[in-house]
Structure 1
Amino acid sequence: MQRNSPVGKYKRYLLLEKGLSSNTIDAYMADLQKLLDFAESRNLSLSEISFQHLEEFLAGLYDTGIKARSVARILSGVKSFFQFLMLDGYIEEDPSQLLESPKVGLKLPVVLSVEEIDAILSQIDLSTAEGTRNYAIIETLYSCGLRVSELTNLRFSDLFFDEGFIRVQGKGSKQRLVPISETAILKINNYLLHRSRQTVKRGYEDVLFLSSRGSAISRVTVFYYIRQYAEAAGIKKEISPHVFRHSFATHLLERGANIRVIQEMLGHEKITTTEIYTHIDRNFLRQEIIEHHPRNRKT
């Protein structure tokens, strides 16, 4: 990809003007590559792509078995790309403007109960440096509702334990202050006793959670340990670091927290993103009624 090509400029636009993270940009570019491959197979330049071509492109995605949710995401990226081409003067009309996004049903995220979270934590060997670090990681994910990338980017300069807050670098480089529980503070301080004896690579002195090699712990490593502990605890749900974020929001809502407060804590730009947790809460309430209402008890 040439730096001054439309695609190269679009990538810089996503980074510099939209402020997206490198991981999000990589996802955008991977989806866009599907369109570029389609255009190349038809010997089409970007300016020659029409509405009919895009309809054919989307039909091809469905034919390969890509699900509606993924098609909707790809289409969103395609629309963003053509809007950029219009903005930069490469094209005069946006062929994607009239494309309709596929209907995507509501998919409720996986949520752990408090008992399941405790069961996962009980599998950690706290006699090791690795164990104290991993316990602190999971407790922080759950107590603060962080994305895993937000956790791996935490710095000592982001910790305000005396005030009971941490500073989080969210999507689009937006910062927010998030309350942190006394339990999470305790577990982090326990980990710091081990970290103080660790050899730290140059440039990572301010990073909170380190790998065994002395650099910032990776998202993949966090995922690996969480999956390992969940399996050891006998939990059959599809587990990832993000599940603790979902659980954080759901447990707050179940206990009466205001949804606007949860939105602020999670760093959601739109309230509609946070409102999915109201659906989880309704499911929870329905299950409680089914289990405990006298008319639903089996005789």
Structure 2
Amino acid sequence: MISKDELQQIFKAFDTEVERKKQMPEWKPHYGQRWFKPLMCCYFYGGLRKNEAGYDSDIEYSGLQGKNLYYDSGELAAIYLEATKGRNERLIPINEIWKKHLLKYFNIRGKPTYDQHVFIYLGGSKKGWPVTGDRAYRQFKRYVKLAGLPKSRTLHGMRHERITSWLEQGFNTSEAQFMAGHSSSNVTNKYTHLRAKNLLKKQRNIDKGNES
């Protein structure tokens, strides 16, 4: 899995790299990959699979679109995904950090219309094309390396982190199953075991602290 602190380290490595690129004579604004942070938030805070947030031309349904953005009283509030290939429909609340990154991106990209992909290239030969899940993964691994984090960190690890966090934050198994899009509660129940392991680990750390 990947922690919130590690995500911030990845974002810091990303910012440092963008500043380095800005000093190059061939710099152009779209080199800044403005899609990177909001897309990573979809994985970390939304628990989305690689090609649910990113695009894959070989998959019938992939890549977030404007129709997946759910607004409540005019405010961006959640991501809605229809049931596809046997998976259940999902509604995933957007927290304030995730929302901040999305709205900042929309100020640059423009608010996507119903059938437009949310994450697109803003310049170059692929201007207007959707960002693929594979591209997102490659860039993620690049910044994991630049941040000095373990190679074992993955996009799917962020999904595991989010589902576990939902349970730790008080969502019940049925709610976590709904947000994760699990077809069976048995899959979600595996995360309650992870939650138990985390609680036991924390208690052991507390016990060790009391002994010193």
Partner Cα separation in structure 2 for residue 190 and residue 132 of structure 1: 9
Alignment pair present for 1:223 and 2:137: yes
1:132 Cα shift? Answer: 2.7
Q: Name 1:263's counterpart in structure 2.
A: 177
Percent identity of the aligned residues? 24
For the structure 1 residues 295 and 191, does the alpha-carbon distance in structure 2 shift closer, same or farther, using more than 3 Å as the test? Answer: closer
Whether the 8 Å contact between 1:176 and 1:267 is mirrored in structure 2 is yes
Q: Name 1:157's counterpart in structure 2.
A: 67
Structure 2 counterpart of 1:123, one-letter code: A
Whether the 8 Å contact between 1:132 and 1:190 is mirrored in structure 2 is no
Partner Cα separation in structure 1 for residue 208 and residue 141 of structure 2: 38
What are the equivalent positions in structure 2 for 1:1-299 lying under 5 Å apart?
111-125=1-15, 129=30, 130-152=32-54, 153-161=63-71, 162=75, 164-169=77-82, 171-172=84-85, 174-196=88-110, 206-211=116-121, 213=126, 214-294=128-208, 297=211, 299=212
**Alignment RMSD:** 2.7
Q: Which runs of 5+ in 1 are unaligned?
A: 1-110, 197-203
Partner Cα separation in structure 2 for residue 273 and residue 292 of structure 1: 30
For the structure 1 residues 222 and 163, does the alpha-carbon distance in structure 2 shift closer, same or farther, using more than 3 Å as the test? Answer: closer
Query: Can you list the C-alpha shifts for 1:72-118, whole angstroms capped at 9, x where unaligned?
Result: xxxxxxxxxxxxxxxxxxxxxxxxxxxxxxxxxxxxxxx11221122
Whether the 8 Å contact between 1:119 and 1:233 is mirrored in structure 2 is yes
Whether the 8 Å contact between 1:249 and 1:277 is mirrored in structure 2 is yes
3-state SS in 1 of match to 2:131:
coil
Whether the 8 Å contact between 2:81 and 2:89 is mirrored in structure 1 is yes
Partner Cα separation in structure 2 for residue 171 and residue 119 of structure 1: 34
Query: Can you list the C-alpha shifts for 1:20-55, whole angstroms capped at 9, x where unaligned?
Result: xxxxxxxxxxxxxxxxxxxxxxxxxxxxxxxxxxxx
Q: Which runs of 5+ in 2 are unaligned?
A: 20-28, 55-62
Structure 2 counterpart of 1:165, one-letter code: A
For the structure 1 residues 123 and 131, does the alpha-carbon distance in structure 2 shift closer, same or farther, using more than 3 Å as the test? Answer: farther
Partner Cα separation in structure 2 for residue 287 and residue 222 of structure 1: 32
Structure 2 counterpart of 1:138, one-letter code: M
1:266 Cα shift? Answer: 0.3
Partner Cα separation in structure 1 for residue 194 and residue 179 of structure 2: 18
Query: Can you list the C-alpha shifts for 1:186-211, whole angstroms capped at 9, x where unaligned?
Result: 21121123324xxxxxxx97111113
Partner Cα separation in structure 2 for residue 170 and residue 145 of structure 1: 16
Give the TM-score taking structure 1 as reference length.
Answer: 0.55
Structure 1 counterpart of 2:5, one-letter code: E
Number of aligned residue pairs: give it: 183
Whether the 8 Å contact between 1:290 and 1:296 is mirrored in structure 2 is no
1:138 Cα shift? Answer: 0.8
Structure 2 counterpart of 1:144, one-letter code: G
Q: Which has the higher helix share?
A: 1
The answer to which structure, 1 or 2, has the higher relative contact order (CA under 8 A, 6+ apart) is: 2
